[in-house]
Structure formats: C-alpha cells, structure tokens
Amino acid sequence: MDIILVSDKLAKARTYTISLPQLALLTLACTGTLAALTTALNVTLLKYAVELKLPYLHGLRIPVHRAESEHVESYQRDGLNAMAVRLGQMQAQLLRLDTLGERLAKLAGFRAQDLLFGQTPGQGGAQSSIPSQDMTLGDLSRQLEVLTREVDDRGDKLGVLESMFMADRARKKLIPTMLPVQGGWHSSNYGWRIDPISGQRAFHEGIDFLAGAGTAIHAAAGGVVVYSAFHPQYGNMVEIDHGNDLVSRYAHAAKLLVKVGDVVLSGAKIAEVGRTGRATGTHLHFEVRQRGVPQNPIQFLRLPG
C-alpha cells in the first residue's frame, strides 16, 4: 500500500510504502487506544455521576450500587440465618444439660430447685473504663462456635458422671442393706453365744429377728434366688445371690414364696416367718456371706440404702 504526501512546504511529493503486516499492526494499535479511552471515560463518568447530577449517568450508576447493596444484604442474611440455626441447636443442648443436671442433683442428694436449673444466672458489675467494642458478624459467629464446642464437651463429661452415679447406685441396690423383717428386734446377735439347744458356747453366724408367725420376710437387696428348699438345720430357707460374692440367707421360714432362678428386687416378699428346722420359737435367722464366709449383717444393714 502506497501513501503520497503533497504539501506546499515540500519541494516534491513524498511517497511511503506500508506493507500489509504494518497496516494490521497500526489498525490494532488504534483500536486498543480507542478502547482504553472509552473505558476510562466510562469509569470517570460513573464515578462522578452523583456530583455531576446527570440524570442519564445517574441512572447507569444506580443499578451498579443496587447490585452491590443486594450482595451485602444477601451475605448478612445468610450469616444471620446460620447463627439462628446454631442458636437453636445451643438452646436444645442447654435444655438437655438442664435435664441431665437435675438427674445428677437427685442422684447426689441435692434438690434441683436449689441449683436453679433453667433460670438465667445473675450477673452484673460496674461499667468498665475501657471503651466498649461492637462485635462484628464474624466475631459473633466465632464466639458461638467456641461456645457450642464447650457445651458439647460439658455435656459429654456430665454424661460420664451420670453413668458413674448410676453404676454406683445400682451397686448399692445389690448390697443387703434393707431390714428383712419390719418391726422385728434382735433376740440374738452375730458372734459367740450360749447355744439355746445344746447349752454349749457356739458361734452364731447371723442375727435372729423376733417376729410373729406369718410375718413377711423381704429381700435385703436385689439378686437371684440360688436356694429355696428345706434344710435339716435351717428349716425352710432362701438364699439370694447379690453378685460381688455376696449371698444373703433367710432361715426357719414357715412358707417359701420364691423358687431357684427367680430374680427378686430389694424389698420383695420372699417368705413368711416360722420356726422350722433347729429353732426354739418363731423368728427369722438372717445371714450375709461373702465368698462363703459369714459376715456380721449389722455392717451391711447400717449402710445407707
């Protein structure tokens, strides 16, 4: 392509030859410059649309501002919804902890109302001289996250504590701490005595409770019946295995109300007082044996039931 320049100042016309690649490069440069100028002018006009108070330019700026505002509102709304869900979860966890705390209070011997479960704890104090700070949405979200983890941790630990309390309570129910006869008093204690039949000094392996014929005999603790039959010396006798190598024995009964293999609860009626076997009168002979060795029943009966 040839370009010829003609001017009064030139002695003769000048001719310039431009190749096709040079022409394409020149066209591209002009197009890029024009696009850059157009973009810069557009940004400048949008930025100063409010100050210039041009209705057309102001109309172009409003949709952009509205889109930014809607994006911020959508982000805040999503954040609030997430915190509302987390707050609901924490309320449910606190309700569970209150219920668990009341059960633990009862197991430990406290009254639940003394510990004010379900009530907002009293707090207060003078206003600090250090300037207060507003919490951002991010700060509040992080605090809720930390508090949620702490509530979960406390709940797990209280659950373990409740399990320990329940196990201890169950173990106590299997220890013969309940009087087998209500209203009876001792006619013979555990230990050495003069045998009422032979007249010799002999060791008494249990406690004798005076009671009228037919008086109910109760299991001193829960367990499994391992003997319920007539014995040559003990007469009609019941033995209950409480676990932990503990067995309680109820002798001289007039009537047996349980059979071997029965599971009985603490306080269940298992027999009636009589004078069967080697006995001088109606009474209950009560023994506690550990690993087959007789123990003083008093040390069990005095334990808190």
* Domain containing residue 211: CATH number: 2.70.70.10
Which residues, including other chains, have CB under 8 Å from residue 90's CB and lie 6 or more apart? 144, 147, 148, 151
Q: pLDDT 10s digit of each residue in the chain, 305 long?
A: 555 555 555 555 566 565 666 556 666 666 666 666 666 666 565 555 555 555 554 555 555 556 556 666 676 677 667 776 777 677 677 777 777 777 777 766 666 555 555 566 666 677 777 777 666 767 777 777 777 777 777 777 777 766 666 666 666 668 899 999 987 678 899 999 999 888 899 999 999 999 999 999 999 999 999 999 999 999 999 999 998 899 999 999 999 999 999 999 999 999 999 999 999 999 999 999 999 999 999 988 876 54
Rounded distance between C-alpha atoms, residue 88 and residue 61, angstroms: 41
| 261 belongs to a structural domain | yes
User: How many Cα atoms are found within 13 Å in the side-chain-facing hemisphere of 136?
Assistant: 3
Q: Alpha helix locations (H) across the chain? A: 20-47, 49-52, 55-108, 137-173, 298-301
Compute the 3-state secondary structure of the chain and give helix, strand, coil in percent, each to the nearest 5: 45, 25, 30
- What pLDDT is attached to residue 253? 98
Q: How many residues appear in the chain? A: 305
Backbone angles phi, psi at 39, to 5 degrees: -65, -45
| CB burial readout 210-230, b (16+ within 10 A) else e | bbeeebebbbbbbbebebbee
- What pLDDT is attached to residue 254? 97
Its domain, for residue 32, covers 2-46
| 108 belongs to a structural domain | no
| 154 belongs to a structural domain | no
| 208 belongs to a structural domain | yes
| 110 belongs to a structural domain | no
Strand partners, 188: 208
Rounded distance between C-alpha atoms, residue 216 and residue 246, angstroms: 22
Please state the domain count of the chain: 2
Residue 56: Cβ-neighbour burial (10 angstroms; 0-12, 13-18, 19+): exposed
Residue 184: Cβ-neighbour burial (10 angstroms; 0-12, 13-18, 19+): buried
| 158 belongs to a structural domain | no
Do 221 and 261 touch, CB atoms closer than 8 A?
no
| 268 belongs to a structural domain | yes
Do 243 and 287 touch, CB atoms closer than 8 A?
no
Query: Would you say the C-alpha torsion 168, 170, 171, 176 has a positive or negative sign?
Result: positive
- What pLDDT is attached to residue 193? 92
| 190 belongs to a structural domain | yes
